[in-house]
Structure 1
Amino acid sequence: MAQQSTLRRGNLPAELTSFIGRHAELAALAALLTGPRLVTVTGPGGVGKTRLALRAAATAAEDAYLVEIGELQDPLLLGHAVLEALGLTDGTARPPLEVLVEQLDGRRLLLVLDGCEHLVAACAELAGTLLRALPGLRVLATSREALRIGGEHLLPVVPLPVTAPPGTLPAAVRLFCDRAAAVLPGFEPRGERQRAEVGTLCRRLDGIPLALELAAGRLRSLSVGQIALRLDDRFELLTDGDRGALPRHRTLRTAIGWSHELCTMQERLLWARLSVFAGSFDLEAAEHICAGDGIEADEVVDLLRELVAKSVLLREEYAGAVRYRLLDTLRDYGAGWLRGSGAEYGLRRRHRDWYLGLASWGEVEWFGPRQAETAERTALAHSNLRAALEFCLGEPGEEQVALLLAGTLWYFWVGCGHLGEGRHWLERALALDRAPTAARAKALWVTGYTATLQGDRARAEPLLQECRSQALATGDDRALAYALHRLGCSALIGDEPARAAELFEQALRHYETAGELNSNVLMAMFELGLAQLFQGRVTEGEEYMARVREICEEHGEQWAYAYGLYARAYSQWLVGEARQARAFARESVRLHYGFRDLVGLVLGLELLALLEADRGELVEARVLQGAAHRIWQAVGVPLFGSADFNAPHHECARRARAGLSEQEFRAAFERGARLELAQAVHRALDRAAELPTERDDDGDGESDCVLLDRVSGLGRHQA
């Protein structure tokens, strides 16, 4: 299932190797984290800043969240990355910093900004803004340079000690031996000579952890003495005689360069090619992008294994699948070789093509039983999709591909809670190329769609009208269908249900002419049904709901199905069938929560609040309304500012005000507004499940449990 939209209790990764040394630094950092609210761990690349920060964060009093800054290129995406790391979803058009300040108000947490040096100004602005606005926040940053803002306390990290009192082993030696044992099982220095060689090697490498790990990776083919000797021979060669470089920088360059030199030609070639990836990647991506011109596709898996053994690559497991990652320092080194080879542009195009293919396949699979897997796969590729978009937007001649990629990812931007970031990429792409192509038409309607969901109709309408005009001028019936459809959405939230219904009907005719059938078409049917319900035409609305349900069940579609369930719940409430309305609304909330779609989720929550009022549970109804109000702040204007969408909310509030004292009315709402998303959803679902199991109010012979099972069947069958 897709990631859930809730403020998780920390997201720090599990440690994959033992933590050695750094007791003094760890104690100092722990002490700092109880006092100053901004601490920056500084030091050269490879010295262990990240590992120290993560170990300290794991023992901090506050919940800790890691934001990997090294994967970002665009400083404008920094706020979006923080929201994503925190598990927060925001669908508004507001700046991410404003959203963060609002959603984190009153919370106590530790934010770990890792690898700030290449975006130091943006990180400094973000940290300063958040710290001024949020007294319960602490920031722990790692960077090769300070952020240089008020209140910052620095903890410089130096390499591990290479000497120790008699009878004890220096931390650098213990680290080397630990990593060596992972490469050469049973490794342990024996005898004075071998212990002296290990000590010499660790001193030669200045105790830099990354250099020690790289050297340990050579032990399968060389002895400790051979490693030390060859490092001596290569020191000047591999630093290009740069005597002006800091000694520790030269040492690390030597260690990386020598590790690179001792790789086979194919391993070096793959290392360079892997530098095009941002974040993690899987075997299939590496085979497609990096094979050819000296590397066969079936050789990639063995080469990856060798690079892992040499500590060049990190191997990670996620949901039972293996993924790989290059450390930033090693990626930079590989990228230098790739640039020098003259092959960088071609490799980045192949990288772009692979992730365009991933997005295109995701768009296809979004209409089917694998929506949850598609959401997860796209989320894992998020960093690389960003890199592909940056490439398209930065290279002349790639503008149309940028439009296509940004538009194709509509399902991720809309269905998985990334409206703000999606609009960022779409607006940038639209500004670069105004040629009336199919790619631009798609980007226009997708941007208009995201703006509509954000409540920004002033921006949405011109974009959708441009898409409509272009489609008419070029004879693009598919683009015309999408433009009319999304104009209908704008009319629907603008309290023009009759005009909306007319636009949806036109869109459905053009969809049929174009042979289009997907989740968007189902949403047009759902929205047409809702427009009919808003006009009091319950029978007509139910007909469209039945059609949506039929197609969803045929294809295993769940996202549009969840919206259809909301409309059915609303319809059942209109005709007085509260029990069925509650079952449909509950399942709609459950599915939307899994997809991280706050728009659909909060609509269902509002309806469940009204159904609580129907049962006479007025306090609980106001609690749920308070929870919904908090969620709307992350979506946009509550209930789109629409009188039609607001009708259940106002009816619920009217009943609650009539049956509660003013103090009870306000206190219940405020209690709900303090609930985090996960708490609100679980409360709503648990309350909705508290139904009599034997009663059959409508006389159809179907118990509440049977009804709930039937409604939930599709989601469970396809999970």
Structure 2
Amino acid sequence: MRDHQLGGSSGHGNLPLELNAFVGRSAELAGLAGVLGAARLVTVTGAGGVGKSRLAARAAVRCAPRDGVRRVELAPVRDPEFVDHAVVEALGLTDHTTRLPRETLLAHLVERQLLLVLDGFEHLVEACAALVGELLGQLPGLRVLAVGRRPLGVAGERVFPLAPLSEDEAVGLLLGRAAEQGLAVADGPEVREVCRRLDGIPLAVELAAGRLRALSPGQLLVRLDDRFRLLTGGGRDAPPDSRPSPGAPPSRHRTLRLAIGWSHELCTPQERLLWSRLSVFAGRFELEAVEYVCSGHGLEADDVLDVLTELLAQSLVVREETPTGVRYRMLDTVRAYGADWLEAAGDAARLRRRHRDWYLGLATWCELEWFSPRQNEVAARVEAELPNLRCALEHCLAEPEAAYLGQYLAGSLWFYWVGCGRLSEGRHWLEQAVQLDAGHERSRLKALWVLGHVAVLQGDTVPALAALHECREEAERSDDATAVAYAEHRTGCLALVTDDMARAETLLRSALERYREIGELNSNVLMGQVELAMARAFQGDLPDAVRLCEDVRRVCEDHGERWTRTYALYVLAYAAWADGDPARARTLLRDCLAGAHSFHDLLGSVLAVELLALVTAVQGDAAEAAVLQGAAARMWLSVGLPLFGSAYYNAPHELCEATARERLGDARYEECVAEGARLMREAAVSRALERPMEAAASPRGPVGHATASVHMHEPAASRAHKGGETAG
């Protein structure tokens, strides 16, 4: 799951942990730290495999500002449009609004002192340069450390070129990596010549060290020299971009390519096959995916683990422990070499299809398992697989014959877009998907109602209505009862947040009946019942609202469902407050807020904080209530129109404000609100969950629950006509 702390309490932020010893580079590290202290944009440049990323990570930790460091891994990003999304993701930001990701970044970072590390940007130079230029121009507390093979070309950039290791450092690296394998290799002329032949490039040295299990330094040197003589003469088995002009000395880039090619030559046929096939993955990958995607045509599934283990031993693949289990990755230079061979073998299209199919299957499984006790696991799994899911979406939507699969995939991930704070990215994919005429109506209809749902939650009424209306019409024409039910349900949800309670109730009841007729039961269906309960509560029928939500709560607990349950708890807390039981309301709201926050569901979180503020005021702590209102106001900036612009949803806020102002006075109330508005989301949620409150309610002051209950059921405009009544 994402970390919402931008940098957190540790300067390390989200920098990767070092898995082995950092060798040498003391002078470079000190030099880079010095440059970082003097410039707001520093770019570490150098050949592939020269150690730019590790040096940058070390320097970033040493120079971390007040709010820490965040690293953006750009190598898996293929579409320039997703650069901004990748930065938002790395910062752990969640935004439900229709704002562009860059606007979100500017809004969230305006008060931060942060070091942003952009690693592996060279294939996205123009997009990264535009982003960095705008961010640095508007965010005085931001510094950027870029890592790539070339400068960004942005005004004020300081370039820090990184040379290969010195001979002594390269030897130290080779001997150190050999020792990590339990090999006793001594310094000597052959070892030093190997390091000289590899030009001191750390990745090339590490690949050579991986061969010391089978070869002595002397044997390694002989084979390496043979390979260099062959390829510097233009050998036909070299990938085209590694063939130099006859007799020309190799550049450092070509030295690395030749070293990788030499390592490739020493692999078994199965190891070469797996190496090339692994290149279809974007970012990290898991063993089960490798066994499905890469097996067949010369590599049996049962052999994949053994072959992968050999690639690990040769430093061609890296193993990492992650929150979702063991995962693997290839360094970008090694992956690119494998991709060349995959294309040369004519097998790239088949592997991309297998990759696509695996992630279609994963999305299907996750959608089903979302309605189960594994919701948190599903959310974390999709988070970890997002680069590969994006790759599959790009592939589907770019191939006319696979467009319907792209529609299916974008629609099947509704639970992630909606439940885990990814509305903006989900809308990007869904809008692309529904524009395609794929000839598979059912897949497009699903993408349409999910698009409508996302737009509703973003407060974008016109596109939401358009998508849902089109979905309803097409579903009725094609007799798709499921799509009709979902379109009607989401149209009812739109009526709910726009204060048309009678229409909301009619549509939601009809949709729930349709769900029963077709046997549909999942988180969406239960959410429809919660939304109906909200409509009933806002119309004054709290007993019916409680009955509906207690039923939802029981079903959720039977199935282990937690996301929809949070919204049922919100309605039950609302009813408990209106019934004069603020202690029970607080208990329910704490449970609600903890659940919503764990899924990065901003809407559920901010609704809970708003109602907690009112409960806090009723329990006698007007100052803390005002602080929570200030915190909620800041959270709404990332959700959309505060309280949907709805008089019904706004009533608790109005009542809380009136109560707190009366007890504190205007000046003190505004001071407390300002204090809350300074809280970042993580701090605000922690405060709402952890701040102690006496179980017994304090005197209620001028607000009686019978009066409050009436006020909660009527929009402010309606109350104004009743003899000048005011909230509180």
Smaller-chain TM-score bracket: over 0.9
Structure 1 pair 101/143, CA: closer, same or farther in 2 (3 Å)?
same
Q: State whether structure 2 residue 570 is matched by structure 1 residue 605.
A: no
Residue 223 of structure 2 corresponds to 230
1:432 to 432, 436, 448: 436
Counterpart contact for 2:404–2:438, Cα < 8 Å: no
Deviation of 1:134 after TM superposition, in Å, equals 0.8
Deviation of 1:575 after TM superposition, in Å, equals 2.1
AA in 2 matched with 1:242? P
Residue 244 of structure 2 corresponds to 242
Q: SS of the residue aligned with 1:323?
A: strand
Counterpart contact for 2:493–2:531, Cα < 8 Å: yes
Instruction: Tell me the number of residue pairs that the alignment of Structure 1 and Structure 2 aligns.
Output: 682
Task: Work out the CA distance in 1 between the residues paired with 2:399 and 2:63.
Answer: 44
Counterpart contact for 1:238–1:257, Cα < 8 Å: no
Counterpart contact for 1:468–1:483, Cα < 8 Å: yes
Counterpart contact for 1:8–1:87, Cα < 8 Å: no
Task: Work out the CA distance in 2 between the residues paired with 1:267 and 1:685.
Answer: 52
Residue 632 of structure 1 corresponds to 636
AA in 2 matched with 1:426? L
Residue 550 of structure 2 corresponds to 546
TM-score, normalized by length of structure 2? 0.92
Q: State whether structure 2 residue 647 is matched by structure 1 residue 649.
A: no
Residue 167 of structure 1 corresponds to none
Counterpart contact for 1:291–1:297, Cα < 8 Å: yes
Q: State whether structure 2 residue 112 is matched by structure 1 residue 76.
A: no
Residue 37 of structure 2 corresponds to 34
Residue 713 of structure 2 corresponds to none
AA in 2 matched with 1:207? G
Residue 171 of structure 1 corresponds to 169
Task: Work out the CA distance in 2 between the residues paired with 1:237 and 1:561.
Answer: 66
Residue 198 of structure 1 corresponds to 191
Task: Work out the CA distance in 2 between the residues paired with 1:593 and 1:272.
Answer: 41
1:188 to 185, 190, 196: 185
Residue 99 of structure 2 corresponds to 94
Counterpart contact for 2:582–2:697, Cα < 8 Å: no
Identify unmatched segments of 5+ residues in structure 2: 235-242, 701-728
Residue 623 of structure 2 corresponds to 619
AA in 1 matched with 2:178? A
Task: Work out the CA distance in 2 between the residues paired with 1:569 and 1:388.
Answer: 42
Alignment of 1:481-496 (within 5 A): 481-496=485-500
Residue 157 of structure 1 corresponds to 162
Deviation of 1:550 after TM superposition, in Å, equals 1.6
Deviation of 1:245 after TM superposition, in Å, equals 8.1
Counterpart contact for 1:5–1:593, Cα < 8 Å: no
Counterpart contact for 1:619–1:656, Cα < 8 Å: yes
AA in 2 matched with 1:640? F
Counterpart contact for 2:190–2:217, Cα < 8 Å: yes
How far does the alpha carbon of each residue in 1:340-383 deviate from its partner, in whole angstroms, 9 at most, with x for none?
11111111111111111111100001001110111111111111
Counterpart contact for 1:238–1:253, Cα < 8 Å: no
When structure 1 is superposed on structure 2, of 632-641 and 560-569 the one drifting more is: 632-641
Counterpart contact for 1:481–1:510, Cα < 8 Å: yes
Deviation of 1:434 after TM superposition, in Å, equals 6.3
AA in 2 matched with 1:209? P
Deviation of 1:81 after TM superposition, in Å, equals 1.2
Q: State whether structure 2 residue 320 is matched by structure 1 residue 316.
A: yes
Residue 719 of structure 2 corresponds to none
Task: Work out the CA distance in 2 between the residues paired with 1:210 and 1:445.
Answer: 49
Residue 138 of structure 2 corresponds to 133
Structure 1 pair 338/302, CA: closer, same or farther in 2 (3 Å)?
same
Identify unmatched segments of 5+ residues in structure 1: 163-169, 698-719
How far does the alpha carbon of each residue in 1:494-543 deviate from its partner, in whole angstroms, 9 at most, with x for none?
11111011110111111111211000000000000001111111122112
Q: SS of the residue aligned with 1:201?
A: helix
Alignment of 1:515-534 (within 5 A): 515-534=519-538
2:22 to 19, 36, 43: 19
Residue 718 of structure 2 corresponds to none
Q: SS of the residue aligned with 1:113?
A: strand
How far does the alpha carbon of each residue in 1:32-68 deviate from its partner, in whole angstroms, 9 at most, with x for none?
1111100000111111111111111111232011100
Percent pairwise identity: 54
Residue 148 of structure 2 corresponds to 143
Counterpart contact for 2:7–2:114, Cα < 8 Å: no
Residue 3 of structure 1 corresponds to 2
Q: State whether structure 2 residue 213 is matched by structure 1 residue 220.
A: yes
Deviation of 1:83 after TM superposition, in Å, equals 1.3
Task: Work out the CA distance in 2 between the residues paired with 1:234 and 1:152.
Answer: 39
Residue 704 of structure 1 corresponds to none
Deviation of 1:319 after TM superposition, in Å, equals 3.5
Residue 54 of structure 1 corresponds to 57
Task: Work out the CA distance in 2 between the residues paired with 1:487 and 1:532.
Answer: 17
AA in 2 matched with 1:316? E
Deviation of 1:693 after TM superposition, in Å, equals 8.0
Deviation of 1:326 after TM superposition, in Å, equals 0.5
Counterpart contact for 2:4–2:91, Cα < 8 Å: no
Counterpart contact for 1:4–1:593, Cα < 8 Å: no
AA in 2 matched with 1:14? L
Residue 405 of structure 1 corresponds to 409
Task: Work out the CA distance in 2 between the residues paired with 1:433 and 1:73.
Answer: 24
Structure 1 pair 319/98, CA: closer, same or farther in 2 (3 Å)?
closer
Deviation of 1:320 after TM superposition, in Å, equals 7.5
Task: Work out the CA distance in 1 between the residues paired with 2:682 and 2:358.
Answer: 35
Task: Work out the CA distance in 1 between the residues paired with 2:303 and 2:626.
Answer: 62
Structure 1 pair 255/7, CA: closer, same or farther in 2 (3 Å)?
same
Deviation of 1:24 after TM superposition, in Å, equals 1.5
Task: Work out the CA distance in 2 between the residues paired with 1:205 and 1:299.
Answer: 32
How far does the alpha carbon of each residue in 1:59-85 deviate from its partner, in whole angstroms, 9 at most, with x for none?
123201110000101111111111111
When structure 1 is superposed on structure 2, of 83-92 and 656-665 the one drifting more is: 656-665
Deviation of 1:416 after TM superposition, in Å, equals 1.0
Task: Work out the CA distance in 2 between the residues paired with 1:436 and 1:295.
Answer: 34
State the 4+ residue runs in structure 1 displaced beyond 6 angstroms.
none
Structure 1 pair 503/211, CA: closer, same or farther in 2 (3 Å)?
same
When structure 1 is superposed on structure 2, of 206-215 and 319-328 the one drifting more is: 319-328
How far does the alpha carbon of each residue in 1:390-421 deviate from its partner, in whole angstroms, 9 at most, with x for none?
11122231110000001100111111111111
Deviation of 1:660 after TM superposition, in Å, equals 1.8
How far does the alpha carbon of each residue in 1:203-223 deviate from its partner, in whole angstroms, 9 at most, with x for none?
100000111011111111111
Task: Work out the CA distance in 2 between the residues paired with 1:667 and 1:151.
Answer: 40
Task: Work out the CA distance in 2 between the residues paired with 1:320 and 1:405.
Answer: 22
Deviation of 1:187 after TM superposition, in Å, equals 2.1
Counterpart contact for 1:3–1:595, Cα < 8 Å: no
Deviation of 1:694 after TM superposition, in Å, equals 12
When structure 1 is superposed on structure 2, of 541-550 and 271-280 the one drifting more is: 541-550
Residue 565 of structure 2 corresponds to 561
Deviation of 1:177 after TM superposition, in Å, equals 1.1
Q: SS of the residue aligned with 1:177?
A: helix
AA in 2 matched with 1:631? M
Residue 350 of structure 1 corresponds to 354
AA in 2 matched with 1:202? C
Structure 1 pair 187/155, CA: closer, same or farther in 2 (3 Å)?
same
2:126 to 96, 121, 134: 121
Q: SS of the residue aligned with 1:512?
A: helix
Task: Work out the CA distance in 2 between the residues paired with 1:581 and 1:84.
Answer: 34
Q: SS of the residue aligned with 2:448?
A: helix
Counterpart contact for 1:7–1:677, Cα < 8 Å: no
